[in-house]
Amino acid sequence: MSEKLRPTSSPTHAAIRTPLAKVRGLGSAKEGTDHFWKQRLTGLANVPLTIFLVWLIARYAGTDHATVKAAIQQPLIAIPLLLLVLSGVYHMRIGMQVIIEDYVHSEGRKLLTLALNTFFAIAVALTCVFAVLKLSFGV
């Protein structure tokens, strides 16, 4: 970037950038850029895991119980499925938190929806993980 275009160096332009020292540990959850980074990390993991999920559903949705049960019991299906659930749920929880923080402004209602968001994510994750493990260990 040329000197003339750099927003912070020109006295005629208002500064766009906030110094890094002022954002560390800040943001509405006081965690700085942590959520931004984890949104990317889980999003990246979600790419191969989503392709796997699409294959699993396309292949096994609507098939009879014995077939789909035998499939999900295989470690090479159960493990990616568990990874998908963990990465997907973490990703969607912090993603939904951003949406809530953008649209819910009253402090009380924000706290409540953020709590419900966490409850939902944990409930979905635990249900899926429980089901896959129960099938895998066959108890």
Partner 1 sequence: MADAGTKKTTHARPLSPHIGIYRQQINMVMSIVHRITGAALYVGTLLLAWWLIAIAQGAPSLDLVNLVMGHVVGKVVLFGFTWALIHHMLGGLRHFIWDTGRGFDISSVNRLGWMTIIGSILITLAIWFVALHARGAI
Alpha helices in the chain (DSSP H): 20-23, 34-60, 65-73, 75-103, 107-137
Instruction: Check residue 96 for interaction with partner 1 (CB under 8 A).
Output: yes
Q: Quick check: 61 binds partner 1 (CB under 8 A)? A: yes
For partner 1, the binding residue among 92, 101, 104, 110 (CB under 8 A) is 92
Q: Does 99 bind ligand HEM (CB under 6 A)?
A: yes
- Minimal distance, residue 50 CB to partner 1, in Å: 6
- Cα torsion angle, 28, 31, 33, 37, sign: negative
Among 1, 5, 16, 20, binds partner 1 (CB under 8 A): 16
| Amino acid found at 101 | E
Q: What angle do CA 83, 53, 82 make, to 5 degrees?
A: 20
Torsion sign over Cα 133, 135, 138, 139: positive
92 makes contact with ligand HEM (CB under 6 A): yes
Instruction: State yes or no: residue 22 binds partner 1 (CB under 8 A).
Output: yes
Query: In the complex, which residues of this chain contact ligand HEM (CB under 6 A)?
Result: 39-40, 43, 46-47, 50, 88, 91-92, 95-96, 98-99
